[in-house]
Structure 1
Amino acid sequence: MQKIKKNIAISDSGFVFDPGTGDSYSLNPTGLEIVQLIKSGKNFQEILHEMLEKYEVDEESFERYFYDFTATLKQLRLTEPNGED
């Protein structure tokens, strides 16, 4: 499971700031929720369970979205380089 870098600042409104690069991003509410679950140490199965309980989404669609989203986080260098699955 990928881990969000410790120095990444994330506001409750979804504003993400990387002090190492000076880059900033905005997350939608679902993206923010997923990032917060990742930061809290939850694994994919725990995140999947929470999202299926809360939203009307099927497991396959969420899994695809989740891995696309975490690939984007990795591409933006917001995750630890060794935080691979």
Structure 2
Amino acid sequence: MAKLKHNIAISESGFVFDAGTGDSFSLNATGLEIVQLIQAGKDFPAIFQRLTEKYEVDPESFERYYYDFVATLKQMNLIEQDGED
């Protein structure tokens, strides 16, 4: 399960700040929703269910986009490296 690092601050507008590095990023509304669900401890099946019910997206596309997004979060050092999804 993906897990955000403890020193990450996220605003309601999608501004992400990494206190450890001083880096900041901006997320769109969907990215913010996914990050908030990850931060709340939700795993992929729970996130998948919630977002595929809320948005018109086919399951295969969502899964691909989700794992690409999580990989990007890992590259930005926002997620613990031992997280599987």
Normalising by the residue count of structure 1, what TM-score does the alignment of the two structures yield? 0.96
Dislocated runs of 4+, deviation >4 Å? none
Match of 1:61 in 2: 61
Cα displacement (A) at 1:83: 2.1
Q: Distance in 1 between matches of 2:28 and 2:83?
A: 23
Match of 1:31 in 2: 31
Match of 1:3 in 2: 3
Verify the 8 A CA contact 2:8 2:19 in the aligned structure 1: yes
Tell me the number of residue pairs that the alignment of Structure 1 and Structure 2 aligns. 85
Normalising by the residue count of structure 2, what TM-score does the alignment of the two structures yield? 0.96
Match of 2:22 in 1: 22
User: SS state of the match for residue 82, structure 1?
Assistant: coil
Q: CA RMSD in A?
A: 0.9
